Homo-oligomer: A and B are copies of this chain.
Amino acid sequence: MKEREIPQKEARAKAEKLLSGIKTVFLATNGSHGHPNVRAMMPLLFEGVETLWFSTELESSKIIELVKDDKAAVFGYSPRSMSTFRLWGNVKILDDLVSRKHVWTDALKERFPGGAQDPNLRILRFNAVSGLFSGKDGHSGIFEIK
């Protein structure tokens, strides 16, 4: 496979296009006992690849991990094209009403019957600082996010 490095702007645009076409990403955190942790998550909203919003339950192991260490990585891919992106950044755990309402969708009702104000709901806002796009044809590129 011939490797080709693509410019930052193109890599970021391709990562954004890929993200907008998928439902599930994989969120890695620094877990317990020095091991990383990883799980599938559906972003509720995203602003480019810069900011991804997720919901989680208060008693989730993610919360404990992210309180201790907010550094995280997000991986996404297209099983068809095998294009992939990775984002590295930090996660804020939000509990304010503005954030809750910002991401609320009725699809969350099953998990959070109390709606946007459900006491068990927490919002995770992932802010990327850098990323990497890799296409199946061997073109790839990193990008910084200011």
Contact = CB atoms under 8 A, between A and B. Distances in A.
Contacts of A84: 39-40
Contacts of A86: 37-39
A13 B102 CA distance: 41
Contacts of A30: 30, 34, 36
A36 B73 contact: yes
A84 B77 CA distance: 18
Given A1-B111, A111-B1, A28 B37 contact: yes
A31 B84 CA distance: 17
A34 B71 contact: yes
Contacts of A39: 75, 84, 86
Contacts of A72: 35-36
B37 A29 contact: no
A88 interface: yes
A145 B75 CA distance: 27
A69 B29 CA distance: 15
Interface in A79-120: 79, 84, 86, 88-89, 110-111
Interface string A24-53: 101111110111111110000000000000
Contacts of A31: 73, 88
Contacts of A89: 35
